Structure 1
Amino acid sequence: MRAAISEIGRFLDAALITRAPGAVPSGGRGVRRRLVVTITLVLGAVLLWWALRIEPGDPAFYAATLALAALWVLGAFASGPLHLGHSTTRSGGEPGRAVVQSLVLGTGLLGIFLVGAVAVAQMPWLRQNVLDLLDHAGEGRWWIVLLVTAVNGVAEEIFFRGAAYAALPARIAVPGSAVLYALSTVGAGVPLLTFAALVLGAVTALQRRVTGGVLGPIITHVIWSGGMLLLLPLVL
């Protein structure tokens, strides 16, 4: 047991705490980046609010969510350069891409949320809130919904852990980008969605700090969101 705990500790240190060599730090660089990020945030929050008010089954929902993904990506690239980032292993080996670490983090985070969903299922008003949000997933072909979810996950990380993170001063980039991501979901009117965004945003922001790029956060986000889409309705 002690060996397993030690191994988990080394993994978390390498994935979320100790910055990899060559990781690009944030620095709040440039008025242009901050201006583009601010405009994109406002437009994105409004577009998300509108998308989640479209009736389940209406094809306009897919168009709206893909438009939102396009907005995040365009805003991110318009704001300045982005980086994929690097990672180190828990044994301190040569830097690489944060692929395996992110797969593990995304799966672990998914497991924690699904355990929490068991508790949510016992509270009718919270449970119904989430089920209403998942109604869009129940309408239409599951693989289309899964693809749209993955595309949005990639786009959100490119913007929030790419552009928004880089626009913030280094000392507040981790909590700041997580809070901005959570605030962008407030208009949806689902408290648990905002809470989930805050937790996911904190984990992926720590990854961004450690790796200096968006690849790790993207993988973690897509694993988490895809798993929640497929498994959360079963738990609830």
Structure 2
Amino acid sequence: MTASNTVPGRYLRALRTGDEDPTDPSALRRRRLVVVIVTLAAGVIISAWALRIPAGDPLFYPATAALALVWLIGAFASGPVHLGSEPYRPGRRPVVTSVGIAAALVALFCAGALVVAQIPALRDPVDDLLAHGTRGNLVAVAALTAVNGIAEECFHRGAVYSATQRVHPIIITTIVYAAVTATTGIPLLVLAAVILGAVTAVQRRCTGGVLGPCITHVAWSLVMLIALGPLLDAASAL
């Protein structure tokens, strides 16, 4: 088997040549752009509010559910949302590779947590965010985390990507996603958005759809929700 026929080789070739998502006609591109702008305006306002709600406040649950609903409505109102497939393997969904990418991201962020644990200015806002799982209903928070991950990918790597696919969509979707996340006021969450956004945008280009990004995002975020707090505590005790 040549290097170009390996899984990494197929992804690199897909990254160079572009995904299999057909280019939208002009009328649909204009519609996507309008829906994206309106959705972003609503999403930014709700995101800034929802993720600043103190841990333990029951308002957090409907607020984050509303945020997910906004992203999902915007995603599907903008036009078709494609699932995608493994590069050059039509019909085979990118499940295993997406889980592997999520595992690599988890390893990267766990390593970064060892540094963050020693810097209170960076750690404290993260602790406040993770407290929603420890002070509230962990099952409900995990479910909302998963739903929001899917909704964010459907919108950012679905609608926004398709609306900008002629003008550097990987860069634009990453910037937009980071800018929306910046409204939370949590610096490390913005950094995470840049890294996660770039990785999932590349996945979107290589696979032609949002399924791979959704799997990666949900798997990564659920592991971080459960493992990051204990890891930060253990690192602080060293």
Q: Which amino acid aligns with 1:232?
A: L
Instruction: Give the 3-state SS of the residue equivalent to 2:40 in structure 1.
Output: helix
Find out whether 1:30 has 2:26 as its counterpart. Answer: no
Distance in 1, matches of 2:31 and 2:112, equals: 41
Aligned mates of 1:32, 1:94 — CA distance in 2: 28
Consecutive aligned runs of 4 or more in structure 1 exceeding 6 Å deviation? none
1:41-99, Cα deviation, whole Å (9 max, x unpaired): 111011011112222111110100011001000001111111100113xxx76661101
Instruction: Give the deviation of 1:11 after TM superposition.
Output: 3.8
Query: Is 1:105 matched with 2:101?
Result: yes
Deviation at 1:14, TM superposition (A): 3.3
Please give the alpha-carbon distance, in whole angstroms, between the structure 2 residues aligned to 1:42 and 1:210. Answer: 29
1:96 aligns with 2:98: no
Q: Separation in 2 of the partners of 1:114 and 1:101?
A: 20
The 1:26–1:119 alpha-carbon spacing in structure 2 relative to 1, beyond 3 Å, is farther
C-alpha contact (below 8 Å) 1:85/1:97 kept by paired residues: yes
Closer, same or farther in 2 for the Cα pair 1:32/1:136, shift >3 Å?
same
2:99 counterpart letter in structure 1: L
Measured after TM superposition, the shift of residue 171 of structure 1 is 3.9
Q: Aligned partners of 2:223 and 2:149: how far apart in 1? A: 12
Which residue is equivalent to 1:44? 43
State the one-letter code of the partner of 1:63. P
CA change 1:83–1:116 in 2 (3 A) is same
TM-score by length of 1: 0.89
Alignment RMSD (CA, Å) = 2.3
Deviations 1:97-132, CA, capped at 9 Å, x for gaps: 101110100111111111111111111211112112
1:183 aligns with 2:182: no
User: For structure 1, which runs of at least 5 residues remain unmatched after alignment?
Assistant: 1-5
State the distance in 1 between where 2:111 and 2:40 align. Answer: 31
Task: Structure 2: state its 5+ residue gaps.
Answer: 233-238
Q: Distance in 2 between matches of 1:169 and 1:93?
A: 22
Structure 2 distance, partners of 1:193, 1:40, is 21
Q: Residues 26 and 173 of structure 1 are in contact (CA less than 8 Å); yes or no, is this contact kept in structure 2?
A: no
Q: Which residue of 2 aligns with 1:116?
A: 112
Contact 1:56–1:135 (CA under 8 A) maintained in structure 2: yes
Query: Which letter does structure 2 place at the counterpart of 1:80?
Result: G
Conserved? CA contact 2:171–2:198, under 8 Å: yes
Q: Does 1:155 align with 2:154?
A: no
What fraction of aligned residue pairs are identical, expressed as a percent? Answer: 46
